[in-house]
Each structure stands twice: as C-alpha cells, then as structure tokens.
C-alpha cells in the first residue's frame, strides 16, 4: 500500500518496487482496489446525502440516504470491476507486446495506476462541481502519466513498446468507461434511481 502511494511522489522508484514485489495471486492483487475504492464511495455517499451541491441556483440538492446507498454500492462495485477488467486486459495484451505477465500482475498495475483517481474521490465529501472537475481532471492526467511510465517498468519491455502497450490500455479504459455509462442508464431504469430530498 505504501509503495502504491509512493507512486505519487516518486513514480519511477515506486514502479520498480511494484515490479520487484508483484503479487503472486489475484486475491493479493485485488485487496488494494477493494480497500482504496472505499474512499470515493464513502466520500460521495456522505457528500451527496449530508452536504449536497448547487447547480446554477442557491438551492442545495441532496440525495436521500436510502436512494444513495444502492447507488454508492454499485459505484464501488463498478470501480473494483473496472480495475479488475483493465488488469485482465493488461495481462491478455501482454504477449502481443512481448511482455511476460500474470493476471495478478495486470490487476496490480491497473490498481496502482488508479491510485490518483481513488485519492481524488475524497473531494466527494464536499461536492462542489468546479473543484470536483478540476481535481478529477488532474487525477486522470496523473493516472495516464503513471500508466505510461509503469508499463515498461513493470512489464520489462522497451519504452517504445511500452508506449504502444499503454496506448492500447487507454483505449480499453475508454471502452470500459462507456460500458459503465451504459450500465448506469440501465440500472437507473431498473430502480437504482436517485431520489432527492426536499
């Protein structure tokens, strides 16, 4: 866990530590996203039910606790599933780029790359739209930077191949993001609808 957080301040050294101590099984690789995905889920639950937000007016908008709970649980599961899915795709594509990989290594790489996004989720405690957008954009940019640095180090491939590999992973991330958006619409239609307080 400390190694993954060290990525934020010393990315090259952090990735080298992760490459040297990559988890050997999927369960060990999954504990990190299972733990860190709790931060944005709890933050947004608290922020949307207690603090609320404003859009273009002085009226504060909040969700009821009963409607926010299933949404937050689904949000948490989506984050963990996204990391696991990206990790699977990293492992699956590794052979194409001449890298030796395991599923656990792919999930560890995806989970550690998502560290800035998990930590940025803490802004959910105070859902102010402009702050959330700025922090989210910075977190996405830094996660992409970490991915481009980390793939060659963890997968032990040349930087040129690592650049192509990381670009393919970005494409996978975009597909997963679109799939989550589509699933959100379907789940809202099936009953996981936000209910606002008066």
What pLDDT, in 10s, does the model give residues 182-191?
A: 998 898 888 7
159-189 helix and 65-94 helix, angle to the nearest 10 degrees = 150
pLDDT of residue 136: 95
- Calpha distance 49→53 (Å, rounded): 10
As a whole number, the mean pLDDT across the chain is 91
pLDDT in the model for residue 198: 62
Q: What is the pTM of this model?
A: 0.92
Lowest mean pLDDT: which of 77-81, 124-128, 149-153?
124-128
pLDDT tens digits along 89-146 = 999 999 999 998 999 999 999 999 999 999 999 999 998 888 999 999 999 999 999 9
> Is 108 buried (19+), middle (13-18) or exposed (0-12) by CB count in 10 A?
buried
Residue 57 above 90 pLDDT? no
């Amino acid at each position: 866990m400390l190694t993954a957080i060290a990525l934020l301040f010393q990315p090259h050294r952090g990735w080298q530590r992760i490459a040297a101590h990559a988890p050997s099984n999927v369960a060990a690789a999954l504990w990190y996203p299972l733990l860190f995905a709790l931060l944005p889920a709890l933050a947004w639950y608290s922020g949307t039910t207690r603090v609320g937000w404003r859009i273009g007016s002085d009226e504060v908008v909040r969700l009821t606790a009963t409607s926010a709970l299933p949404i937050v649980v689904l949000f948490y599961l989506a984050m963990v599933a996204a990391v696991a899915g990206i990790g699977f795709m990293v492992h699956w594509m590794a052979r194409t780029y001449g890298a030796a990989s395991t599923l656990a290594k792919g999930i560890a790489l995806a989970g550690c790359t998502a560290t800035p996004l998990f930590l940025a989720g803490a802004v959910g405690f105070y859902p102010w739209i402009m702050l959330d957008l700025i922090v989210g954009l910075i977190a996405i940019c830094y996660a992409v930077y970490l991915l481009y640095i980390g793939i060659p180090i963890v997968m032990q491939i040349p930087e040129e191949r690592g650049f192509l590999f990381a670009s393919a992973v970005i494409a996978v991330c975009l597909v997963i993001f679109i799939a989550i958006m589509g699933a959100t619409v379907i789940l809202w239609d099936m009953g996981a609808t936000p209910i606002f307080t008066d």
